[in-house]
Chain A
Amino acid sequence: MTKIYKESKAINDLSFEICKGELFVILGSSGSGKTTTLRLINRLIDPDEGAVYLNSNDTKTMDPVKLRRKIGYVIQQIGLFPHMTVKDNIGLIPRLEKWKEEDISNKVDELLTLVALPPDLFRYRYPNQLSGGQQQRVGLARALVMDPPLLLMDEPFGALDPLLRMQLQNEFLSIKRKLDKTIVFVTHDIEESFILADRIGVMHGGKMLQIGTPSELLFEPSNEIVSKIIGAENKFKAIRFLQAKDVMIPLDKSCLIESDISCKETINMMISHKIDSCIIKKSNSDIAQVSLIELLNEKDKAKSILAIGNKLNVFASNDTLSSIISLLKSSNESMAVIIDRGNVLGIVRINSVLMNLV
């Protein structure tokens, strides 16, 4: 999706792509043009120049009403219709699309269950009988009713208190994993963007300054403004959101031993590859590390490599840095290994992590 748009610099020569299935966060302060960008996507506003492409089709050629029914839309004010029950709010568009009454009821119940609101309790309630968090859940359910492949969210958790916001963010992440949708999420909250995003686009003054993963933005901000918006000077704050995959050192395949070979063979291999330490994968949960010196000191050189080595802590690629650090601290170690679906991806060394954060 590409867009070029100029209009009193609300959006200034903007051009970027969003990939299918990703959660793309547009991060920026108020007036940065992030909401305008979002509303350009479902044609609530039309660009003066340029175009928005959905699967390489120009949205200008589509009927805006039909387009919007295929794009979920959630805003901060939620906008539930106060004179309609929860069911009628969710079922309005299906009804206009002439769904069968029974199908509407089933879909409403399915969606309410998805957003953790028991249908029997909530189906016939009115919006003013719901708490803020419940209202936003209904708002999300309503946006999902036509099963849209694309979901636009404009600071949906902005009006909630911090505790509830965190809970909804986590729930939203688990819902997102179940749904497999492309999501464009607008926020000014850096923490929120780090928790949710696959990629973040930083906007300022109607321009997209930089697009990248949270760690790319944190460790390689392209300029002062990005660094300021992201808060790159205070990376320690980020240990709550950074995940293992953001800070790990990718493992060179030559350093990984997965087969049952002897110490002697290992030593030869390490010398030929000029490495002085290697990772031994004994099973998916039992992974060890051994150094060349340790191997050379081993008396029985014919011993299987699987029988020696120092066992390492194992983390998943989406474990947070803070959980890794606290576990390493309690076990008094300085190194951990990151695996994903049985593949050893890399290692995390406390020293190098600290060097990165300072």
Chain B
Amino acid sequence: MVALLPLLDAILQHLTLVFTSLAIGISLATPLAILSVFYKRVSYVVLTIINMAQSIPSFALVAIIVPLVGIGFVPGIVAIVLGSIVPIVKNMYVGLAKTDIALIDTGKGMGLTDLQIVRYVRLPLAYPAIFAGLKFSAVIANGIAVLTAIIGSGGLGRVIFEGLASFNINKTLSGAIPAILIALSLDMIFSIAEKKLKSKSVY
């Protein structure tokens, strides 16, 4: 049997990896996306880098991190952020940039500043796109968080790898099943958050 306490510990560590990375991802993506909306050159650079990053296999990404940042929890976070930030930036940029021109025009015409247009018009209308990106990103983050166990980040990946190495099916499953359940519930969590945000008044 598997000891319950170390497993809970691993789950907690895993969730910390995922949500810390997502939080960092969102806070990096938001200014990048907003800057990209207003400056063509920024959007060009950002989108080029992002499209390249998207094509790197997750496992290769984790491997590259080691010579650059080393091993442990922080390098694990770096790998997850790099691997999962793409859909957040991309969807946020597309959502903010593709607002109906007539709305931007009237917004400006009635005397909103560019930032007020982002806050009151572009952002609320981009929620569906942004949350779709967040959900996708969360699933990827969860996946990479399993892999980063190999560079010493801890989490459920470690339980799985240990189980696999010792041919302990029970241990392997006790790592894998929570990881799957987390993946499924992440989608739900963001759906609920989106609904909450939408029902709130725009002001």
Q: Chain A interface (Cβ within 8 Å of chain B)?
A: 42, 44, 65-69, 73, 75, 77-84, 88, 92-93, 95-96, 139, 142-143, 146, 152
Contacts and interface: CB of A to CB of B under 8 A. Distances in A.
A91 to B, nearest CB: 9
Given A68-B111, A92-B112, 5 more contacts: A68-B109, A75-B109, A80-B106, A95-B203, A96-B112
Given A77-B102, A83-B124, A96 B109 contact: no
A204 B64 CA distance: 63
A152 B108 CA distance: 13
Given A75-B102, A78-B102, A83 B202 contact: yes
A93 B201 CA distance: 15
B105 A44 contact: yes
A146 B112 CA distance: 13
Contacts of B110: 68-69, 73, 92-93, 142-143
Give the interface size bracket for B toward A: 20 to 34
B106 A73 contact: yes
The 8 closest A-B pairs by CB, nearest first: A79-B106, A73-B109, A69-B111, A77-B102, A68-B111, A79-B102, A83-B124, A79-B103
8 contacts: A68-B111, A69-B111, A75-B102, A79-B103, A79-B105, A81-B121, A93-B112, A139-B106
A80 B202 CA distance: 14
A344 to B, nearest CB: 45
B153 to A, nearest CB: 40
Interface of B is mostly: helix
Nearest to B114: A65
A18 B125 CA distance: 38
Contact of A84 (B111, B116, B202): B202
Contacts of A95: 203
B113 A65 contact: yes
B163 interface: no
Contacts of B116: 96
Contacts of B109: 42, 44, 68, 73, 75, 152
Contacts of A75: 102, 105-106, 109
A80 B47 CA distance: 31
Interface string B77-110: 0000000000000000000000010110111111
B111 A81 contact: no
A93 B111 contact: yes
Contacts of A73: 106, 109-110
A77 B110 CA distance: 14
B103 A81 contact: yes
Contacts of B121: 81
Interface in B97-144: 100, 102-103, 105-113, 116, 120-121, 124-125
A152 to B, nearest CB: 8
Contact of B120 (A66, A92, A143): A92
Interface string B173-203: 0000000000000000000000000000111
B202 A88 contact: yes
A143 B110 CA distance: 7
A336 to B, nearest CB: 45
A80 B116 CA distance: 16
Given A65-B113, A69-B110, A83-B124, A88 B201 contact: yes
Contacts of B111: 65-69, 93, 146
Nearest to B101: A77
A84 B123 CA distance: 13
A82 B202 CA distance: 11
Contacts of A77: 100, 102, 105-106
Contacts of A92: 110, 112, 120
A82 B110 CA distance: 16
Nearest to B124: A83
A146 B106 CA distance: 15
Contacts of B113: 65
B95 to A, nearest CB: 13
A46 B11 CA distance: 58
A96 B112 CA distance: 9
Given A81-B121, A143-B110, A88 B203 contact: yes
Contact of B125 (A65, A82, A139): A82
Contacts of A66: 111
A139 B111 CA distance: 14
A192 to B, nearest CB: 20
